[in-house]
Amino acid sequence: MTDKPIIVIGAGIVGVSTAIWLQRAGRRVILMDKGAPGMGASYGNAGLLAQWAVVPITTPSLWRDAPKYLLDRNSALFMKWSYFPRLLPWLAKYMSHATDAGARKIVTNLIPILGDAVDQHKSLVRGTPLEKWVTDSKFSYAYRSEAHFKADAYSWALKAEAGLAPHVLLGKDVQDQEPILGPAMQCLAVLEGQGHITDPGQYVAELARFFTDQGGQVIEAEVKDLQRENGRISQVETDQGAFECSHAVITAGIWSKDLMKTLGLKVPLEAERGYHVIYETPSIMPNDPMMITSGKFGVNPMDMGLRCAGTVELGDHHAGPSKAPFQMLRSHVKEVFPDLTYSGTQEWMGFRPSTPDSVPLIGQIGDTGIYTGFGHQHIGLTAGPKTARLIAQMIDGTPPNIDMTPYAPGRYLQ
């Protein structure tokens, strides 16, 4: 075994978890990021351990619904139209999966990395002071009516393949279960055995601190290039100098796209820009996290307040936030939580790294010693520890107990 370290590039949930699992395998690890750990997409996500998120956006109904959503400013789908021409090649590949066969294949591929997500997070923090961050909870889908729930039958049939069967509440039982909901919501589909994180940004920051307390090294540097000798990674060049390594793991979310270009590889990765609004010192909190299906956003009671997070805005990962998604979130919150009062709000926008087939890239690029762990779309926080464990196993020469073919980066690399 070489004495050169493994460099993990990107200190979000996937990168920090990878650093910890490699460290536990006895490897020397450097965790590298241009910013502080946990301050990217890991900071602003909905905080949901979404074992239920096995159904992709690309179901057959997307062909019918997408134009309608794009024209409705109160829907959860937005487009940065100035970016649309550059997005077209990716979008064509993305929409090619919006078939019954395509959706079912994605579900099959997502179940192995999502189905035990709560247990994977618990395993990551077991026996450490970080156990407090992983909270058991129910998760509910809030619908306007039973008819709207039944109209979602295709999605629930796919969820059933992952063993997800809801308990359905109607009418007054909805408000008995979740008093925060107003009369606009008349149906609640409740899933048991789920989980959430009460402050995902702080959770990742403390994971990084735990990694350094155990002897790991965190370096704040911007990666400029990955150098290879005889086809294998030899060093990572940064704005803080060059660092030798035995392996490199790219877990930089949407910014992985730019890093792959330094290798001469064009990965079809685009940003589904996500938004959140935090309602500070709210007068009422939900008992458990939920999904407001009319606005397709998650609601999570967190340490800093009530976080409402979601929406999909297709656009450039270098551009700033738009106003319309924030307005949509606020409008829906006002409708579904009519009695909610609060002292103030915070707004945030971040980038979900999305592949055309809604499945992340997890594995080695050829025999280069360079591994990928990005492209998780909406499930980065959820699947981060499982992805990390799989990468650590592959680097350590231990065959994972799932078929890694669907996640292999070679399916896209050109």
Q: pTM here?
A: 0.95
DSSP secondary structure string for all residues of 348-391: EEEEEEE-TTS--EEEESTTSSEEEEE-BTT-HHHHHHHHHHHH
Query: CA dist 55 to 159, 271, 359, 378, Å?
Result: 7, 19, 11, 11
What residues contact residue 88 under an 8 Å CB cut-off, 6+ apart? Answer: none
Q: What token pair was written down for 253?
A: 């979310």
Domain boundaries, the chain: 6-42+202-266+357-411, 55-112+131-197+269-354
Architecture per CATH, domain 6-42+202-266+357-411, reads as: 3-Layer(bba) Sandwich (3.50)
Rg (CA), the chain: 21
pLDDT in tens, 199-240: 999 999 999 999 999 999 999 999 999 999 999 999 999 999
- The CATH code that applies to domain 55-112+131-197+269-354 is 3.30.9.10
Please list the pLDDT of the chain residue by residue as tens digits (414 residues): 568 999 999 999 999 999 999 999 999 999 999 988 878 778 888 899 999 999 999 999 988 888 877 777 777 788 888 999 999 999 999 999 999 999 999 999 999 999 999 999 999 999 999 999 999 999 999 999 999 999 999 999 999 999 999 999 999 999 999 999 999 999 999 999 999 999 999 999 999 999 999 999 999 999 999 999 999 999 999 999 999 999 999 999 999 999 998 888 888 999 999 999 999 999 999 999 999 999 999 999 999 999 999 888 999 888 899 999 999 999 999 999 999 999 999 999 999 999 999 999 999 999 999 999 999 999 999 999 999 999 999 999 999 999 999 999 998 876
